[in-house]
Chains A and B, each alone.
Chain A
């Protein structure tokens, strides 16, 4: 998970515990920088995660995600 403090590059982050593994964010990402973990979270879903580079901060994954708090996107 990326740092939440001052940044100069855009990033997205997934709260792996709140993610329900629907994968809608994966499909909408123009840069395909979101992937699905092989690990299960405590609710037994495979959560999405940011692969770590090239996020443009467009926010499409945020709106595609049905969970209020699972995805956070920062665009400096």
Chain B
């Protein structure tokens, strides 16, 4: 006896669905999604994969896939279903991952993800439901909308000169070497529906056997968006859409690929492994005790790119971190690697930091003239401004601000290289703020400076800057 009835891969009652009709779908009368859902569910039953299937719902009318399929479910951001599916498959290779997407999702917003997942040959199955319109959002033109087809955004019909031609995704993806199986089917006539049923099963079987990427484009209907009754919509699909979207197999390597070829599994979430990794990522020094911080520091460091401005900020934040304080470091720079302007904001605080930006610094370092001109006025009254007097000719307002002018670049040259001017400045910053003991800073620098051969030079540079401020030499 053969019984055609609701698949056990569907929930018995659609509890997640709002409203009273908990056994009916949310789809409009005559919508192709329902047919396709039924055939996917049936294939899951027959291939015995329901328990390990993960259905990735996109954005679109089928966003509510998780109402219906009694398997693992993900709801991805618009267009990102193939990327999410990739992650699910790779971290859980036993899962049968189904990326179910409409034309707006797959062929417009998620074009990049779609093409690259196909190009990588991910062992996932993509069901592309092409109904030539954005249904859920109210019937706007989609990439697959037909020439002449009216939509809310093409009220006079899609025009090639204005909107381009409908995109044929199956043909496009078939040009790539990686995909295993690409077919276009339709849910128009009964014959077409039965072919769709076959294609869905084949695609899932390919994934189950580890044979790679399978893609089934299903030409479907949107009676509501097309403003047609369901029967007329199926007729339009058959008579008109299939002229632009011819049915057929565009690629099928399934007989030429060995089972298990596309095993790209890696160990996913293994807590011990994650912890080992995090241990390795720990900062190179221990936070042993929380040091006092007399005053929160809101610093702006500015100069030319290449002067070590950003590194200066990093060093200070690392010192603060090691002292157990809250820190933030926020760089801002132009596209040039050298020679452009660069600045960074550093907050060091006893309390949690709301914004990493520093608009009103109480500590400003300027290592070129434009930075002095740009930022001096922002410093709060009584704030400190440290100027590299080797480079900056202008004078800061000594009445309003605590001005420290030191020839940092010259002092760095004396140490051996101009490159350590930023560490000379760091010495001055630490001395001027009395935030941390110099020994504490030195031990931190030893931990964070990567090149051991440069440590001595940096120590000397730091001391020079520190002593200059403390002792005036």
Q: Which residues of the other chain, B, contact A62 by a CB distance below 8 angstroms?
A: 4-5, 38
How far in angstroms is the closest Cβ of chain A from B69?
10
How far in angstroms is the closest Cβ of chain B from A60?
5
* Complex interface residues of chain A between 51 and 76 (CB less than 8 A to chain B): 57, 59-60, 62-76
A-B contact number at CB 8 A: 98
In angstroms, Cα B229 to Cα A24, docked, is 10
Contact A74 B1 (CB under 8 A): yes
Q: Which residues of the other chain, B, contact A73 by a CB distance below 8 angstroms?
A: 3-5
Contact A64 B5 (CB under 8 A): no
Q: Indicate which residue in B3, B5, B33 contacts A66 across the interface (CB closer than 8 Å).
A: B33
In angstroms, Cα B25 to Cα A71, docked, is 13
Binds A, one of B114-122, B190-198, B271-279, B395-403: B190-198
In angstroms, Cα B23 to Cα A73, docked, is 18
Contact A65 B3 (CB under 8 A): no
| B10 nearest in chain A by CB position | A68
Given known A18-B23, A66-B25, contact A59–B30 (CB-CB < 8 A): no
Question: Helix, strand, loop or mixed for chain A's interface?
Answer: loop
Contact A20 B24 (CB under 8 A): yes
Q: Indicate which residue in A22, A43, A57 contacts B230 across the interface (CB closer than 8 Å).
A: A22
Q: Is B37 an interface residue (CB 8 A)?
A: yes
How far in angstroms is the closest Cβ of chain B from A46?
10
Q: Is A28 an interface residue (CB 8 A)?
A: yes
In angstroms, Cα B7 to Cα A72, docked, is 11
Q: Is B34 an interface residue (CB 8 A)?
A: yes
How far in angstroms is the closest Cβ of chain A from B280?
50
Q: Which of A24, A66, A69, A71 has the most CB of B within 10 A?
A: A66
Q: Is B39 an interface residue (CB 8 A)?
A: yes
**Interface 0/1 of A7-29, CB less than 8 Å to B:** 00000000101101111100110
How far in angstroms is the closest Cβ of chain A from B190?
5
Q: Which residues of the other chain, A, contact B27 by a CB distance below 8 angstroms?
A: 66
Q: Which residues of the other chain, A, contact B2 by a CB distance below 8 angstroms?
A: 57, 59, 74-75
Contact A63 B38 (CB under 8 A): yes
| A12 nearest in chain B by CB position | B4
Q: How large is the interface on B (under 10, 10 to 19, 20 to 34, 35 or more residues)?
A: 35 or more
In angstroms, Cα B112 to Cα A66, docked, is 31
In angstroms, Cα B33 to Cα A69, docked, is 14
Contact B10 A23 (CB under 8 A): no
Contact A68 B197 (CB under 8 A): no
How far in angstroms is the closest Cβ of chain B from A52?
18
In angstroms, Cα B7 to Cα A5, docked, is 19
Contact A68 B25 (CB under 8 A): yes
Q: Is B234 an interface residue (CB 8 A)?
A: yes
In angstroms, Cα B312 to Cα A17, docked, is 72
Q: Which residues of the other chain, B, contact A74 by a CB distance below 8 angstroms?
A: 1-4
In angstroms, Cα B5 to Cα A72, docked, is 5
Q: Which residues of the other chain, A, contact B68 by a CB distance below 8 angstroms?
A: 68
* Complex interface residues of chain B between 330 and 364 (CB less than 8 A to chain A): none
Q: Which residues of the other chain, A, contact B25 by a CB distance below 8 angstroms?
A: 66-68
Q: Which residues of the other chain, A, contact B3 by a CB distance below 8 angstroms?
A: 72-75
**Interface 0/1 of B1-43, CB less than 8 Å to A:** 1111111001000000000010111011111111101110100
Contact A68 B7 (CB under 8 A): yes
In angstroms, Cα B31 to Cα A71, docked, is 15
Contact B190 A66 (CB under 8 A): no
Q: Indicate which residue in A23, A43, A71, A72 contacts B21 across the interface (CB closer than 8 Å).
A: A43
Q: Which residues of the other chain, A, contact B294 by a CB distance below 8 angstroms?
A: none
| B38 nearest in chain A by CB position | A68
Contact A71 B24 (CB under 8 A): no
Contact B1 A75 (CB under 8 A): yes
Q: Which residues of the other chain, B, contact A70 by a CB distance below 8 angstroms?
A: 24
Contact B24 A76 (CB under 8 A): no
Contact B30 A24 (CB under 8 A): yes
In angstroms, Cα B28 to Cα A21, docked, is 10
Given known A64-B190, A69-B23, contact A27–B1 (CB-CB < 8 A): no
Contact B230 A23 (CB under 8 A): yes
In angstroms, Cα B196 to Cα A64, docked, is 12
In angstroms, Cα B34 to Cα A22, docked, is 12
| B230 nearest in chain A by CB position | A22
* Complex interface residues of chain A between 25 and 54 (CB less than 8 A to chain B): 27-28, 43, 45
Q: Which residues of the other chain, B, contact A60 by a CB distance below 8 angstroms?
A: 190, 193
A-binding residues in B (CB < 8 A): 1-7, 10, 21, 23-25, 27-35, 37-39, 41, 68, 189-190, 193-194, 197, 223, 229-231, 234
B-binding residues in A (CB < 8 A): 15, 17-18, 20-24, 27-28, 43, 45, 57, 59-60, 62-76
> Top 4 A-B pairs ranked by shortest CB distance?
A66-B34, A22-B30, A20-B29, A62-B4
Can you name 7 extra interface pairs (CB under 8 A) apart from A18-B23, A59-B4, A68-B10? Answer: A20-B28, A28-B189, A63-B38, A65-B35, A68-B34, A72-B4, A73-B4
